[in-house]
């Protein structure tokens, strides 16, 4: 049998958690309970009606156990009394009516129990749905660089896992209140008989409570500390078996490598968890025995009182029944209390995610500057520098140039030069680390970022291949117009996606991508034409194409850009391409190298200048000879 002193020493000492951090103290654990009021508020907001109904049914149900025990006592006492009467005087009717009453109470208790379970499950489903929606809404508000931080993913992952298990916590908190009320009723009878029995009860169950609470914390720590590895496990599972990766996994024979890593991680988690659950089971058995000993001590005492005639047989069953029920309830309340405390620790993760705030957002403290329609002067980069949060190196530095209104500017530079970063700064996906960007003479930060993004259409090189019907895949460029078929078709014509869609069996209704039933996959170039169509769905004043044509054949790219030039007459545009045949169509070309400004000018000017652009241009031209 395990020794209790070693158990208590594990409670008091700050044993390191599996993630290397010290274990939470009892006080820290309990302080997580302060998250409960906010949690209960969320439940109430989910559905006031269902919450009220749930509480009302539970209140009613809380009173039933004591009522049933009491009726049980009356029945037994009546039977004993009747049995003492001479046979002819005995009548069954008064006992039968008591039995009928108990029967009625039993049926009511069962019905109420089912009602509570029903409301719990309805409320739980609604709560899980609403939490998921809140999670998606909040994630959508956050900044791009928050998504690029692995700590953020850990928080998101923990919050995501919370949405379902929180419904269990909700039922637990409500059951807790219900059982506490039942206990209150039962305690009245027990205290009236002998208050020491209540104390005995506490002594019998408190060790079990402490044990539960200790092991709950250990398992929370294990799960919490393993969040990054669990994300990796999910990633490995998905990479090992998904349509997107199957091609390379097969060609490179990666499945063994992925499975080995998965096995290594999952075995380690299994090992750590196994040792915890074994310890938990051992201690649990021991504490259950302590609880049972307390119960039997009380039982012997009550029996002795009955034997010496100080209580009736009916009272004996009432008291023994009350004690047994109270022990069950108290054990339940205490162990639930520690799992509620554990749930509250998880809630902390949930609320922490919602506390993350975006930095790029409308400044509520001052009036936002109305977005210029049309843009008059254009964008000015003033000594702009940018460093990614996780990077050592500056992605852009000391960048000053103007993007004039109505101008078509091409960005040229080698891989990693900083072209995409520049575009992301224009769209305010990030703010410059140094310097500033002006729009018509005012800092970009003075405008509402939402409005700015509405006025900008960007198609990135790594555009998303939405697993949606073809028409909707174009409409994502302006999702409010998803029902406007003529507009979608026009965008498709402009981006040359119309000929791709014409070949699809169900045209604009055709599901594309292989993930869903009946989906048809497209070639890289065909996907690009669809993605390009999104740019034409917008009424944007600034259009940015970040190499969305890399997979197009040379003729298609030439055609796409010719059209782009015609269709965006008078609009400001930024193009990124590694093909100089495309680049030369721009009014001016900005050359960036290692995040620094190199030169700017028209194709002819830059060739005459004979600098970096001329060198790169000749290099590519030589390749075609
Ligand atoms: N999210 C990120 N976090 C950290 N560093 C990044 C991130 N995105 C880009 N970088 C780094 O910033 C630099 C500039 O990248 P950027 O994507 O702007 O280059 P690019 O000129 O568009 O290159 P390419 O022609 O290959 O598309 C590179 O050194 C890159 O490694």
Report residue 299's pLDDT band, with 50, 70 and 90 as the boundaries: confident
Q: What is the DSSP letter of 521?
A: -
Calpha distance 528→497 (Å, rounded) = 8
Residue 423 Cα to ligand 1 middle (Å)? 11
Calpha distance 95→108 (Å, rounded) = 20
Compute the half-sphere exposure of residue 441: CA atoms within 13 Å on the CB side of its CA. 3
Residue whose Cα lies nearest atom 25 of ligand 1: it is 415
Inside any domain, residue 380: yes
Report residue 16's pLDDT band, with 50, 70 and 90 as the boundaries: very low
Percentage of the chain modeled with pLDDT above 90 = 35
pLDDT of residue 519 exceeding 70, the answer is yes
Same domain membership, residue 575 and residue 435:
yes
**pLDDT tens-digit map of 583-607:** 888 999 999 999 999 999 999 999 9
Residue 417's pLDDT is: 93
Tell me what the mean pLDDT of segment 298-309 comes to.
89
Tell me what the mean pLDDT of segment 49-58 comes to.
93
- Tokens describing residue 38: 């906010």
392 ligand 1 Cβ < 6 A: no
**pLDDT tens-digit map of 615-625:** 988 888 776 55
Same domain membership, residue 250 and residue 319:
yes
Q: What is the DSSP letter of 437?
A: E
- Tokens describing residue 561: 């850009």
Phi, psi of 398 (to 5 degrees): 50, 45
- CATH code at position 544: 3.40.50.300
417 ligand 1 Cβ < 6 A: yes
**pLDDT tens-digit map of 212-240:** 778 877 887 888 888 888 889 989 988 88
Phi, psi of 460 (to 5 degrees): -90, 160
Same domain membership, residue 160 and residue 129:
yes
Same domain membership, residue 529 and residue 421:
no
Residue 29's pLDDT is: 65
Residue 584's pLDDT is: 85
The pTM of the full predicted model, rounded to 2 decimals, is 0.72
390 ligand 1 Cβ < 6 A: yes
Residue 550 Cα to ligand 1 middle (Å)? 17
Report residue 24's pLDDT band, with 50, 70 and 90 as the boundaries: low
Residue pointed to by tokens 């224009």: 426
Percentage of the chain modeled with pLDDT above 70 = 94
Same domain membership, residue 178 and residue 88:
yes
Residue 298's pLDDT is: 85
Mean of all residue pLDDT scores within the chain:
85
Inside any domain, residue 489: yes
Neighbours of 41 (CB within 10 A): 10
Residue whose Cα lies nearest atom 16 of ligand 1: it is 418
The number of the ligand 1 atom at minimal distance from the alpha carbon of 413 is 21
Same domain membership, residue 165 and residue 32:
yes
pLDDT of residue 110 exceeding 90, the answer is yes
Same domain membership, residue 495 and residue 516:
yes
Residue 13's pLDDT is: 35
Tell me what the mean pLDDT of segment 191-209 comes to.
81
Residue whose Cα lies nearest atom 14 of ligand 1: it is 418
Residue 25's pLDDT is: 62
Residue 504's pLDDT is: 93
Inside any domain, residue 460: no
The number of the ligand 1 atom at minimal distance from the alpha carbon of 148 is 1
Residue 101's pLDDT is: 95
Residue whose Cα lies nearest atom 26 of ligand 1: it is 415
Tell me what the mean pLDDT of segment 566-571 comes to.
80
**pLDDT tens-digit map of 261-285:** 999 999 999 999 999 999 989 998 8
Same domain membership, residue 203 and residue 107:
yes
Residue whose Cα lies nearest atom 28 of ligand 1: it is 416
Residue 19's pLDDT is: 45
Inside any domain, residue 461: no
| Domain boundary residue, one of 489, 516, 533 | 533
pLDDT of residue 20 exceeding 70, the answer is no
Q: Looking at 16-20, 538-542, 577-581, which range is the least confident one?
A: 16-20
| Domain boundary residue, one of 515, 533, 551 | 533
150 ligand 1 Cβ < 6 A: no
Highest mean pLDDT among 30-39, 129-138, 487-496: 487-496
**pLDDT tens-digit map of 428-469:** 989 999 999 999 999 998 898 888 888 888 888 888 889 899
Domain count along the chain: 3
Same domain membership, residue 391 and residue 247:
no
pLDDT of residue 23 exceeding 60, the answer is no
Phi, psi of 549 (to 5 degrees): -115, 10
Q: Looking at 4-8, 134-138, 325-329, 536-540, which range is the least confident one?
A: 4-8
DSSP 533-556: HHHHHS--SEEEEESTTTTS-HHH
| Domain boundary residue, one of 287, 321, 355 | 355
227 ligand 1 Cβ < 6 A: no
pLDDT of residue 7 exceeding 70, the answer is no
Inside any domain, residue 369: yes
Residue whose Cα lies nearest atom 11 of ligand 1: it is 395
Residue 10's pLDDT is: 35
Same domain membership, residue 294 and residue 182:
yes
In DSSP terms, 408 is beta-bridged to 573
Calpha distance 319→73 (Å, rounded) = 9
DSSP 356-393: ---SSS--TTSPPBPPPSS-SSEEEEEEEEE--TT-SS
Q: Which domain holds residue 499?
A: 467-533
420 ligand 1 Cβ < 6 A: yes
Residue 615 Cα to ligand 1 middle (Å)? 23
Residue 465 Cα to ligand 1 middle (Å)? 21
Residue 28's pLDDT is: 67
Residue 421 Cα to ligand 1 middle (Å)? 6
Inside any domain, residue 571: yes
pLDDT of residue 36 exceeding 90, the answer is no
Inside any domain, residue 1: no
Highest mean pLDDT among 327-331, 335-339, 493-497: 493-497
pLDDT of residue 552 exceeding 80, the answer is no
577 ligand 1 Cβ < 6 A: no
Residue 506 Cα to ligand 1 middle (Å)? 39
Inside any domain, residue 616: yes
Tell me what the mean pLDDT of segment 106-134 comes to.
91
Same domain membership, residue 319 and residue 207:
yes
- CATH code at position 152: 1.20.1560.10
Report residue 26's pLDDT band, with 50, 70 and 90 as the boundaries: low
Residue 163's pLDDT is: 63
Residue whose Cα lies nearest atom 6 of ligand 1: it is 388
Vertex 268, ends 265 and 273: CA angle to 5°?
Answer: 125
Q: Say yes or no: ipTM exceeds 0.90.
A: yes
- Tokens describing residue 98: 């008591």
Same domain membership, residue 484 and residue 397:
no
pLDDT of residue 1 exceeding 60, the answer is no
Calpha distance 15→3 (Å, rounded) = 18
The number of the ligand 1 atom at minimal distance from the alpha carbon of 411 is 21
pLDDT of residue 477 exceeding 80, the answer is yes
Phi, psi of 438 (to 5 degrees): -110, 145
């Amino acid at each position: 049998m395990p020794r209790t002193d070693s158990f208590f020493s594990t409670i008091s000492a700050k044993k390191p958690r599996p993630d290397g951090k010290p274990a939470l103290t009892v006080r820290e654990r309990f302080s997580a309970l302060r998250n409960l009021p906010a949690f209960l508020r969320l439940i109430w907001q989910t559905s006031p009606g269902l919450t009220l109904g749930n509480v009302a049914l539970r209140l009613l149900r809380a009173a039933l156990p004591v009522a049933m025990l009491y009726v049980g006592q009356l029945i037994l006492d009546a039977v004993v009394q009747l049995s003492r009467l001479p046979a002819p005087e005995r009548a069954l009717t008064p006992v039968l009516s008591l039995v009928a009453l108990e029967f009625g109470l039993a049926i009511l208790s069962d019905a109420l129990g089912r009602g509570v379970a029903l409301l719990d499950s309805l409320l739980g489903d609604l709560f899980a749905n609403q939490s998921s929606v809140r999670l998606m809404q909040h994630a959508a508000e956050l900044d791009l660089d928050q998504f690029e931080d692995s700590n953020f993913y850990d928080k998101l992952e923990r919050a995501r896992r919370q949405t379902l298990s929180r419904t269990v916590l909700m039922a637990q908190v409500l059951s807790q209140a219900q059982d506490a009320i039942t206990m209150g009723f039962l305690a009245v009878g027990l205290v009236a008989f002998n208050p020491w029995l209540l104390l005995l009860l506490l002594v019998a169950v408190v060790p079990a409570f402490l044990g539960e609470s200790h092991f709950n914390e250990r398992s929370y720590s294990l799960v919490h500390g393993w969040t990054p590895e669990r994300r990796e496990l999910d990633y490995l599972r998905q990479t090992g078996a998904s349509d997107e990766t199957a091609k390379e996994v097969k060609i490179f024979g990666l499945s063994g490598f992925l499975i080995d890593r998965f096995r290594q991680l999952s075995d380690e988690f299994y090992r750590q968890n196994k040792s915890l659950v074994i310890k938990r089971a051992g201690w649990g058995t021991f504490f259950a025995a302590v609880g049972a000993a307390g119960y039997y001590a009380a039982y012997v005492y009550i029996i002795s009182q009955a034997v010496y005639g100080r209580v009736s047989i009916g009272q004996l069953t009432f008291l023994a029944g009350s004690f047994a029920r109270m022990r069950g309830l108290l054990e339940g309340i205490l162990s639930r209390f520690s799992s509620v405390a554990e749930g509250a620790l998880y809630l902390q993760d949930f609320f922490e995610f919602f506390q993350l705030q975006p930095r790029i957002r409308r400044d509520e403290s001052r009036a936002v500057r109305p977005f210029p329609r049309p843009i008059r002067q254009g964008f000015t980069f003033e000594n702009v520098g940018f460093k990614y949060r996780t990077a050592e190196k500056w992605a852009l530095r000391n960048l000053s140039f103007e993007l004039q209104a109505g101008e078509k500017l091409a960005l040229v530079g080698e891989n990693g030069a900083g072209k995409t970063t520049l575009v992301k700064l224009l769209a305010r996906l990030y703010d410059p680390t140094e310097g500033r960007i002006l729009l018509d003479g005012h800092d970009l930060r003075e405008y509402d970022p939402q409005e700015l993004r509405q006025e900008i259409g960007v198609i990135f090189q790594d555009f998303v291949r939405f697993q949606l019907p073809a028409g909707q895949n174009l409409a994502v460029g302006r999702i409010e117009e998803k029902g406007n078929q003529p507009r979608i078709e026009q965008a498709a014509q402009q981006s040359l996606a119309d000929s791709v869609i014409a070949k699809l069996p169900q045209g604009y209704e055709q599901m594309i991508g292989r993930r869903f039933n009946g989906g048809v996959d497209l070639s890289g170039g065909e996907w690009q034409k669809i993605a390009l169509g999104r740019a034409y769905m917008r009424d944007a004043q600034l259009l940015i194409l970040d190499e969305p044509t890399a997979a197009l054949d040379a003729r298609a790219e030439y055609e796409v850009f010719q059209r782009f030039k015609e269709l965006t007459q008078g609009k400001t545009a930024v193009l990124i391409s590694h093909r100089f045949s495309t680049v030369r169509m721009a009014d001016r070309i900005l050359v960036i190298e290692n995040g620094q400004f190199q030169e700017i000018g028209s194709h002819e000017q830059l060739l005459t200048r004979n600098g970096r652009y001329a060198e790169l241009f000749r290099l590519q031209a030589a390749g075609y000879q």
